[in-house]
Structure 1
Amino acid sequence: MIITKAGTGACPACGAETVSIHEALPWCTRCEWNLDGYDRARQAPEFGWAWVDRRTHRLAARLTRQQFAALRDRPLEPPGLGPAAVLTAVASLLLTVGVLALAVVGGWLLFAYPFPNFAVVFGLAFIGLAVALRPRFGRVDPDLEVLSREQAPELHALVEEVATAIGAPVPHVIGVDDTLNAYATSVGLRRRRVLALGLPLWGALGGQERVALLGHELGHFVNGDVRRSLVTQPALTMLGNAADLFRSAPGTRGGGLLEMVGEALGRMLSWVLSRLLFAGHLLLVVTALRDSQRAEYLADEMSARVAGTAGASRALDVLLSQDSVTLVVRQGARGGHGPATWRAGVARSLDAAAERLPLVRQLSIREETSLFSSHPPTGLRHRMLSGRPWQEPRVVLTESRAERIDAELARHYKRVSRTISWSA
């Protein structure tokens, strides 16, 4: 339940009355004073030091607002090879070359000198390090239940129709899982396209909201998101893996003075090296995620293009109300009801919260802002859609067609319902 508190004071910027919901820091709904502030009681720490978290939050808020203002009145198109993509690609190339060099030097050390010798030890160490730091290009999640065209022809047909409408390629793999989420990604060296639909979310969405969800996720295959490119993957994973590799392990007990001094020096060196690698990882990730947030706005635009502005905006409101959606779906599952009941319950919940949703959207601007977020705040995404020309749907998902799709997924819904019913 959302509790709105008005009369929490006058806004020092414009004099209007401030408000608060969920016991959050008050803000002004008119000029949005204090909406960029850091609410320590409601926002999870990112670095663990309050003064650092406060400053990084304000930096993230400023960058997020600047990006929104820059894109608001401009056509949303794929950015092409922008500075973030170039920097990430160059870093990926250098890191990959560095790992290959480790492997080559390690191989050379194995055979450069007569055996036995200490060079073999270093050679094996270099090769082992190269293997540990090798680029990872992902794979299909083993928990994803892949649906063939024969198993779900209606769903495959809808995905293809949406992909054609926005000019996106059709995914190689379509699957479902038991999360309140959906995602599109590319895996492996061949970059096989994967579309994953969380059945609790999919079942809770109405027809046009489902089309909007597909439009958004498929839009990631054409919106220039650097996180999904083959040439940028090493930069986004290798330094983080290296930092974990060099993180010092807990010390051993006992031993002589010399052993203790050696262990202390080793731990100090590991700590410094791990922190330097992690700092480089953070720098690359923060740079790439600025570009990823732009890609999310473009994916929303494609969502509105195929589902209509109303459907895309409604889908964002569902995502913004995850706690309510989770409750509705869990209660329906425990009562033995399927997706039709879930949709009806979510629709009633959103309609009942219609007057308070603008405040929830505003609050999300504060609480979803982060240097490490791949998505802009949902409130700004909603504002971007509503501020652009209104779009009518290109693909309409009728109730009868939605029911046929749900019938194809009936077995999977039953399994997910059992999982949800037993969840806390």
Structure 2
Amino acid sequence: MIDTRATGDTCPECGTATVAPRGALLWCPACEWNLEAYDAERIGPFFGWRWLDRRIHGIGYRMTRRQFDRLRGRPLGSSGVGAAAIVTATASCLLFLGVVALAATGIWLLVAFSFPGPSLLLAVPLLALAIGLRPRFGRLDPDADVLRRDRAPELFTLVDEVAQAVGAPAPDVIAVNADFNAYAATVGIRRRVLCLGLPYWGSLVPQERVALLGHELGHFVNGDPRRMLLTQPAFTTLGSAADLLRPTPLTAPGLIEWMGAALGRIIQYPLSRLLFTLHVALVCVALRDSQRAEYLADEMSAKVAGTAAAKSLLDTALRVESMSLAVRRESRAGHGPQRWQAAVAESREASADELPPLRQLSGREEAPLFSSHPPTGLRHLMLEGVQRHDPAVVLTQQRSSRIDNELTKEYESARRVLAW
């Protein structure tokens, strides 16, 4: 049980009693005094230096709040292309062209000069670097079980209905696994994948399942840079280059070899650190646009499942640890999704009064500079600030049960994994 009682102190700004759930640093629930504070014990390190971690946390917190204030109160779908999206797309194009230039130069050195020759000493490293930095196509999770339409027609039909309501293309692949999560991704060039973690899916009430599908399918049309092949270089190229240039320990046996390796380190280390710094800065910018896409996916979720269901789904993120424990406990007892839902419902009822402070606390603990998702509490507030929606797709309990019956075999596999 979370203790949300006041610590005995009062806010120096407004005089309201402060709160400190889960042993967090206290803050004021009225004016949010001290909510920005860096709680090293709960947030964890970014780079390992306390002074730098505190500064990074403060920057991330303020950037997250500024973006929330800019987007709140207006339709997210009409927010337009922001500066972060332009920077990410431009950087990705330039980085991709740089990799192409490396490959082209290496090939030119091989073709233009006699083989073998001195040009080989430069051509081979350039080609190896181009291969190492090339964009990668995503791959299907090998631990996921791919479903067929004839095996789960009710689930596929529901996904098709939600996709149509959201205005997104239906996924090419629907898969399930034993994770307490769900995601939408693109593998290959344009192969869209929806993966449902059965412990998570099985513990949700019917309309929350619709909200989950609406959110995940919304990622196919919300411009999320993390799911686009064209913006992949912004997330990977500079980081990969920094890793490739990172100096190795000096192990050369002779003096001349050791001096050569040491000279290489003098060149490699600053160049590797420079590339890593640029990588961190670019990823930070790109993730601002990713957070905007998450807000938009939440709005799509509300349009298809109803605002109440979308907000309820967000609250599950605040309880994910207790929900996971309840599902694992029932799995070890040999129970399936019906008992999962009952156990999770009991946990939710017991913690209903604790949600408001936990939503506020997420504003501190889920606002790192490098987070791809906005804080859950801010996502909840964002839905409160836009037009309220009634559900466009309604999933009845009977239909939800039929979907669970289709997945009996997969549920049993997931239950065994959880039991272990």
Indicate whether the TM-score tops 0.5: yes
Which whole-Å CA distance do the structure 2 matches of 1:340 and 1:149 have between them? 23
Gaps of 5+ in 2: none
Contact 2:238 2:275 in 1 (8 A): yes
Which whole-Å CA distance do the structure 1 matches of 2:144 and 2:271 have between them? 37
**After superposition, what is the alpha-carbon deviation per residue over 1:62-111, rounded to whole angstroms, capped at 9, x for unaligned?**
11111111111111115444322222222122111111111121112223
| Matched residue, 1:295 | 293
Between 80-89 and 148-157, the greater mean CA deviation after superposition: 80-89
Counterpart among 274, 282, 286 of residue 284 in structure 2: 286
| Matched residue, 1:58 | 58
2:184 alignment partner, SS class: strand
Kindly tell me: are residues 148 and 162 of structure 1, through their superposed partners in 2, closer, same or farther at Cα, counting changes over 3 Å? same
| Matched residue, 1:265 | 263
User: How far off its partner does 1:258 sit?
Assistant: 2.8
Between 387-396 and 201-210, the greater mean CA deviation after superposition: 387-396
Which whole-Å CA distance do the structure 2 matches of 1:42 and 1:247 have between them? 31
| Matched residue, 1:39 | 39
2:229 alignment partner, SS class: coil
Query: Does residue 323 of structure 1 match 2:321?
Result: yes
| Matched residue, 2:415 | 417
| Matched residue, 2:360 | 362
Between 262-271 and 216-225, the greater mean CA deviation after superposition: 262-271
1:25 alignment partner, SS class: coil
Query: Does residue 380 of structure 1 match 2:378?
Result: yes
Contact 1:219 1:299 in 2 (8 A): yes
Contact 1:136 1:237 in 2 (8 A): no
2:43 alignment partner, SS class: coil
User: How far off its partner does 1:266 sit?
Assistant: 1.7
Contact 1:79 1:224 in 2 (8 A): no
Which whole-Å CA distance do the structure 2 matches of 1:262 and 1:8 have between them? 64
Which whole-Å CA distance do the structure 2 matches of 1:15 and 1:110 have between them? 74
Contact 2:234 2:286 in 1 (8 A): no
Q: How does 1:5-44 map to 2 (within 5 A)?
A: 5-44=5-44
1:26 alignment partner, SS class: coil
| Matched residue, 2:101 | 101
Which whole-Å CA distance do the structure 2 matches of 1:5 and 1:108 have between them? 71
Contact 1:166 1:215 in 2 (8 A): yes
Which whole-Å CA distance do the structure 2 matches of 1:417 and 1:267 have between them? 51
Query: Does residue 216 of structure 1 match 2:215?
Result: yes
Instruction: Name the amino acid aligned to 1:197.
Output: L
| Matched residue, 2:232 | 233
| Matched residue, 1:243 | 242
Between 367-376 and 6-15, the greater mean CA deviation after superposition: 6-15
Instruction: Name the amino acid aligned to 1:47.
Output: F
Kindly tell me: are residues 81 and 384 of structure 1, through their superposed partners in 2, closer, same or farther at Cα, counting changes over 3 Å? closer
Between 105-114 and 197-206, the greater mean CA deviation after superposition: 105-114
Which whole-Å CA distance do the structure 2 matches of 1:245 and 1:400 have between them? 55
RMSD, aligned α-carbons: 1.5
Kindly tell me: are residues 76 and 258 of structure 1, through their superposed partners in 2, closer, same or farther at Cα, counting changes over 3 Å? same
User: How far off its partner does 1:229 sit?
Assistant: 2.4
Identity of aligned residues (%): 58
Query: Does residue 174 of structure 1 match 2:178?
Result: no
**After superposition, what is the alpha-carbon deviation per residue over 1:106-137, rounded to whole angstroms, capped at 9, x for unaligned?**
11222333333221132122111111111113
Gaps of 5+ in 1: none
Contact 1:300 1:381 in 2 (8 A): yes
2:213 alignment partner, SS class: helix
Which whole-Å CA distance do the structure 1 matches of 2:279 and 2:88 have between them? 11
Between 98-107 and 16-25, the greater mean CA deviation after superposition: 98-107
Kindly tell me: are residues 119 and 8 of structure 1, through their superposed partners in 2, closer, same or farther at Cα, counting changes over 3 Å? farther
2:76 alignment partner, SS class: coil
User: How far off its partner does 1:395 sit?
Assistant: 1.1
TM-score, normalising length from structure 2? 0.96
| Matched residue, 2:133 | 133
Between 384-393 and 356-365, the greater mean CA deviation after superposition: 384-393
Once superposed, which parts of structure 1, at least 4 consecutive aligned residues long, lie more than 4 Å away? none
1:209 alignment partner, SS class: helix
1:118 alignment partner, SS class: coil
Which whole-Å CA distance do the structure 2 matches of 1:343 and 1:372 have between them? 33
Contact 1:107 1:127 in 2 (8 A): yes
User: How far off its partner does 1:59 sit?
Assistant: 1.1
Contact 1:161 1:395 in 2 (8 A): yes
**After superposition, what is the alpha-carbon deviation per residue over 1:155-189, rounded to whole angstroms, capped at 9, x for unaligned?**
11000111111211111111111111111122222
Instruction: Name the amino acid aligned to 1:347.
Output: A
1:4 alignment partner, SS class: coil
Query: Does residue 155 of structure 1 match 2:151?
Result: no
Instruction: Name the amino acid aligned to 1:226.
Output: P
1:22 alignment partner, SS class: helix
Instruction: Name the amino acid aligned to 1:256.
Output: G
